[in-house]
Homo-oligomer: A and B are copies of this chain.
Amino acid sequence: MKILVISSMLKDRHKEQILGIAKKYNAEVCFAGAEGEAPEAFAEPDVIYGFGMQMAKTQKSLKWLCVPSAGVDYLMKPGVFANEACLLSNSSGAYGVSIAEHMIATSLMMMRRLTEFYEETLDSHWGKPRAQRSLWGSRITVLGTGDIGQCFARRAKAFEPAKITGINRSGNCPDPVFDKVMSVDALDEILPETDLLAMSLPDTPMTRGILTRERLWSLPEGAFVVNVGRGSAIDEEALADCLEADHLAGAALDVFQKEPLPKESRLWKTKGMLITPHVAGNLTLEYTLDKNVAMFCEDLVNFAEGKPLKYGVDRKKGY
């Protein structure tokens, strides 16, 4: 078995962790900083851990691709895998801690007007108090109750919100942190009772455009929106309109319809918009990288022993 690991982030301890398991199963491992840097001997690997999309597209030998991202939308188009039977796994579960911190941070930055105070400090200006809002007593709706939504809800709970409602396809979620979990059919019912809408949805045909103009306007005046899932979920023009009309008090977007967000986008200058360049979750955080590698290693054992992958993605469903 030949394993190609593509990453510029791995530390020695991660490499040793992978090598230790590979040795047990007589597998060869090659570490490459980028896809194009793989040596000839690993041109037809059985397994790739990393962003190996070019090789997946051309190598029929590939039996398993493990990507270090949580989202896999970019792998769902036809023609992505030369081997149609190639297994796919992702790293959903590695990012919850980091992304949940981003969600809490940006929610509070908006509610507490911290970017406005910050801009004043750039001019050495001691500002006056501004009307504040609070997570305390807020009605929070979490759209997408996977790892990220759950990590966020557990942290948000400590701030004593009035209630936390989870929304997902089934209306079921094992995490007791939610006061209520409803199916996506109840979205139109719950939005008018939502002070903070926290979105952590993957990009699938079902989630694309889910936050329509009509739904944005159905949020109560002064509500906040946070999106860390995929930009495709929101009608961005409608969101900007809602903000400029003071219908919404703020929106924190880490993901966009088009990334990088084009220089000419109106969103950059939209009132109440808090933009981050898709950095809520990435491998610069040691915790995330450690967990990412640990998840691959767990599934490497499964793969080597012919067992099902724990973090496998259903390529038909898209998650």
Which of chain A's residues 252-292 have a Cβ closer than 8 Å to chain B? 259-261, 263, 265, 268-269, 274-277, 279, 282, 284-287
Give the chain B neighbours of A129 by CB distance below 8 A. Answer: 277, 279, 282, 284
Q: How far is the CA of A251 from the CA of B107 in the complex (A)?
A: 21
CB of A41 within 8 A of chain B?
no
Q: How far is the CA of A132 from the CA of B287 in the complex (A)?
A: 10
Which of chain A's residues 104-118 have a Cβ closer than 8 Å to chain B? 104-106, 108-109, 111-112, 114-115, 117-118
Q: How many residues of A contact B (CB 8 A)?
A: 55
Whether the Cβ atoms of B112 and A109 lie closer than 8 Å is no
CB of A60 within 8 A of chain B?
no
Determine how many copies of this chain the complex contains: 2
Q: How far is the CA of A197 from the CA of B130 in the complex (A)?
A: 26
Whether the Cβ atoms of A124 and B154 lie closer than 8 Å is no
Residue of B nearest to A252 (CB): B114
Give the chain B neighbours of A134 by CB distance below 8 A. Answer: 97-98, 101, 285-287
Residues of A within 8 A of B (CB): 97-98, 101-102, 104-106, 108-109, 111-112, 114-115, 117-122, 124, 126-137, 154-155, 157-160, 259-261, 263, 265, 268-269, 274-277, 279, 282, 284-287
Please, could you name 12 A-B residue pairs with CB atoms under 8 Å apart, sorted by A? Answer: A97-B136, A101-B111, A101-B159, A102-B108, A108-B108, A114-B276, A121-B275, A127-B277, A127-B279, A129-B284, A134-B286, A134-B287
